[in-house]
């Protein structure tokens, strides 16, 4: 270990090049250094190893017995150091890995169908485990390493978390078509007069719609609270309920003659749908590949 403290790793790179080229000038060209710098490095190496290492013979340089012994172990050591410093290649077609993801069923509907089809085609050895939780719980799971990646809305994440915006989403309303005015829209008073359905993991969770209403000092009446989005469209048909949700969640409603999609009668800020991961995953080639795959899937959609 004491000897290691005396050696600059660049000296070992120079030694390997010298032993391969057996020529000062060619080594200098190979390493983009001057000939005096290579000669100085060789002098230092001779002192460290207490051996000439390369000696002049017939107008060139020849390895000493000690240098010949060093040749293969040094090449192996430099290869291992290179593998340590450079991230390994990731081949999705050969990879065997389990990724743990967290997202709401809204995120799952947007991301999973196309992502899973892509994985089965290009990365059949990769498994995906998906769970659902509140924003706060998903953020803590990422922090604790319980999940690899969370997808959703994460305002002001801690510094250890990295985020990437996948798309910007807005809100729209859904109601039973037969109960709608002829105009196909509602003003604020008509909208507030209706009972509302809310999609939330639990009662009392703050949401963008009610925050926007509070800013104009108004409040809606929530008649039904759902923990997931899947049944929401079916729930609205044939009732007086109004559902206000992320616009992408209403894609299929446009093809349902029983339902009417319309704009909110008051302003609500759009939101960024993001993927979030911890710093510990930042340089993982497999994780980078997954993040890029999700980005392509979402943006292609």
Q: Is the CB of residue 244 less than 8 Å from the CB of residue 196?
A: yes
Q: Are residues 203 and 259 in the same domain?
A: yes
- Count the domains in the chain: 3
Q: Point out the domain boundary residue: 26, 52, 85.
A: 85
Q: Which residue has the higher pLDDT, 3 or 19?
A: 19
Single residue among 28, 50, 85 that ends a domain in this structure: 85
In a domain, 91, yes or no: no
User: Residue 131 pLDDT more than 70?
Assistant: yes
Q: What CATH number is attached to the domain comprising 142?
A: 3.40.190.10
Tally Cβ neighbours within 10 Å of residue 281. 17
**Cα dist. 24→13, 35, 122, 230, 260 in Å?**
14, 6, 49, 72, 81
Co-location of 280 and 260 in the same domain: no
Tell me the pLDDT tens digit for each residue of 72-107. Answer: 888 888 877 776 676 667 899 999 999 999 998 889
pLDDT at position 290 is 96
Claim to verify: residue 140 and residue 193 sit in the same structural domain? no
Give the Å distances, CA to CA, from 135 to 162, 206, 278: 15, 11, 15
Assess whether 127 and 195 both reside in one domain. Answer: no
- The reply to whether 256 and 176 lie within a common domain is yes
In a domain, 180, yes or no: yes
> Is 217 found in the same domain as 80?
no
77 and 122 in a single domain? The answer is: no
- My answer on whether 162 and 276 are in the same domain is yes
Are residues 24 and 146 located together in one domain of the fold?
Answer: no
Is residue 63 within 8 Å of 109, Cβ to Cβ?
Answer: no
Average pLDDT, the chain: 88
Residues 141 and 288 in one domain: yes
- Is 92 within the bounds of a domain? no
CATH number for position 17: 1.10.10.10
* Res 174 pLDDT > 60: yes
187 contacts: CB under 8 Å, gap ≥ 6: 265
Domain range for 11 is: 2-85
Eight-class DSSP state of 197:
E
Whether residue 90 is contained in a domain is answered as no
Domain assignment present for 287: yes
* Mean pLDDT within 30-50: 88
Q: pTM for the complete prediction?
A: 0.67
């Amino acid at each position: 270990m004491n000897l290691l403290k005396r050696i600059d790793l660049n000296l070992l790179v120079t030694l390997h090049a010298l032993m391969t080229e057996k020529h000062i000038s060619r080594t200098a060209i190979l390493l983009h250094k001057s000939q005096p710098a290579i000669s100085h490095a060789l002098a230092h190496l001779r002192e460290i190893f207490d051996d000439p290492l390369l000696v002049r013979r017939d107008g060139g340089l020849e390895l000493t017995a000690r240098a010949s012994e060093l040749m293969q172990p040094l090449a192996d050591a430099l290869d291992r150091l290179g593998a340590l410093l450079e991230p390994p290649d990731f081949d999705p077609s050969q990879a065997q890995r389990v990724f743990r993801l967290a997202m709401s069923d809204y995120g799952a509907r947007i991301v999973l169908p196309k992502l899973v089809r892509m994985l089965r085609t290009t990365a059949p050895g990769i498994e995906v485990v998906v769970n659902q939780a509140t924003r706060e719980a998903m953020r803590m799971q990422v922090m604790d390493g319980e999940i690899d990646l969370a997808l959703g809305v994460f305002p002001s994440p801690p510094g250890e978390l990295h985020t990437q915006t996948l798309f910007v989403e807005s809100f729209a309303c859904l109601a039973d078509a037969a109960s709608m005015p002829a105009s196909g829209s509602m003003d604020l008073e008509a909208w507030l007069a209706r009972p509302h359905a809310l999609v939330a993991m639990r009662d009392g969770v703050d949401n963008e719609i009610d925050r926007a209403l509070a800013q104009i000092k108004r409040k809606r009446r929530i008649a039904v609270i759902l923990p997931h989005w899947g049944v929401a469209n079916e729930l609205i048909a044939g009732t007086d309920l109004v559902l206000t949700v992320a616009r992408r969640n209403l894609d299929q409603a446009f093809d349902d003659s029983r339902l009417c999609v319309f704009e909110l009668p008051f302003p609500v800020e759009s939101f960024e749908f993001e993927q979030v991961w911890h710093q510990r995953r930042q340089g993982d080639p497999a994780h980078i590949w997954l993040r890029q795959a999700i980005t392509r899937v979402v943006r292609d959609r």
